Structures are given as C-alpha cells and as structure tokens.
Chain A
Amino acid sequence: SQQGEEDPQALSIQEGENATMNCSYKTSINNLQWYRQNSGRGLVHLILIRSNEREKHSGRLRVTLDTSKKSSSLLITASRAADTASYFCATPTQGGSEKLVFGKGMKLTVNP
C-alpha cells in the first residue's frame, strides 16, 4: 500500500549546493513527515508538516506541502558530506494516523 513516492530516486551534488527532494502521495492526509536513514542504520525523524501548514523550517531544512497537488518537497541548503543518506517521506494511512506508510526513499550523495 505505497502512499508516498520520492523523486528523484538518487541525487548526487557537491558540498555547499542545495538538494531538493520531492514526494507525491495519493490520498488526503493530516500530516507528512520526512525521515533520514544513514546506510545500515535506523531512520531518524527530521520534520513533520501538518496539512494546514504550507512551509516549515528546521535549521538547514525547509519543507513545503501543497495539499492541492498532493506533494511535498524537502530542501537541504548548503549541503555537507554528512548529509549523505537516504531520505524518506511518510504519510499516515487512512483511518489510522499512528500507522505510517513510507516511500521507497531517495539516495542523496554529497561529494566533498
């Protein structure tokens, strides 16, 4: 029951550049979350944006949400080599906000 889909599936950039990842989903949601996963590790929560919010910031992260287009974007500014990881968007399943459905993830490589 795939809900979110990240785009692009892989991105390679140089340190200092900005990285933008997009997520599209299919059904109405009350929030959308972004997670990060370093290789072989667990996922770490980055940011949650609610359906009544259009934009949210956290440090070098900027998340937008367009409920009319059923899409979200995650922008990482001034990227660092340590940002190299996979990034996932996650949305609640219908009828249960505690159950999250994750996209396949996007692999970001930041070259020093």
Chain B
Amino acid sequence: DGGITQSPKYLFRKEGQNVTLSCEQNLNHDAMYWYRQDPGQGLRLIYYSQIVNDFQKGDIAEGYSVSREKKESFPLTVTSAQKNPTAFYLCASSGSGNTIYFGEGSWLTVV
C-alpha cells in the first residue's frame, strides 16, 4: 500500500539524549514535512524539504535536525538542545498538488 510510515510509534528519551524519528514514503512525493503537535496547540512546522539534499527551517526548528539524502526518507533528530520535546510528531509529504498526506505520528516522551 502507498503511504507514509513513521517509526517508532512510541519513543522515550532520557535527559541529554538525541533520538531520531523515522519517516519513509513510497508516494514518490518531492516535498516532505515534520510537524509537532502539542495538546490544544494545533500543528507547528519544524522542518520541510522540497527536494532531495535540500531542507528549510520551519517555525520551531531550534533543537531539531533533519536530513534528506533520499527522496523516500526524511528522518528527524530531536537533540538534547530541545528542552521540551514531549509531543506528538507528524511526518507528511506532498506531490504536485496542494494536498498533504500524513503518517500516523510518533509519540515522544522525556523520562
């Protein structure tokens, strides 16, 4: 089935640790996105990439890093510099139209 796969679904991070969230898509989409969702806050854009080997910061990029070495993959690393990382993280992609397709999300909790 075509779609966006995020893993893991649940992830726990210790203080001072970096963790990486995986996002893979087989929709042949050029653009990919990472959003963060906090309760009652809606979605906020962390990073986005419109083409392989290129990405731009979104509204809340501090404490996060990404890479786009392959068209299918857009992993997000939550670094120790992100002081409040507990949230629901959503990966998405889009093709030539304006519609964005989302993965099922990953829950990150600091322990």
Within B33-53, which residues are at the interface with A (CB < 8 Å)?
33, 35, 40-43, 45, 48, 50
For the complex, is A40 an interface residue (Cβ under 8 Å from B)? yes
Proximity bits, B80-111, A CB within 8 Å = 1, else 0: 00000000101010100011111111010000
Main secondary structure of the interface of B (DSSP, over half): strand
Chain A residues near B88 (CB-CB < 8 A): 40
Chain B residues near A103 (CB-CB < 8 A): 42
Proximity bits, B11-50, A CB within 8 Å = 1, else 0: 0000000000000000000010101000011110100101
Interface residues on chain A, number (Cβ under 8 Å): 23
* Total CB contacts across the A-B interface at under 8 A: 54
A104 to B40, Cβ gap below 8 A? yes
Known: A33-B98, A98-B50, A98-B94. A41 touches B41 (CB 8 A): no
Chain B residues with CB under 8 Å of chain A are 4, 31, 33, 35, 40-43, 45, 48, 50, 58-59, 88, 90, 92, 94, 98-105, 107
Chain A residues with CB under 8 Å of chain B are 1-2, 31, 33, 40-45, 48, 88, 90, 92, 97-105
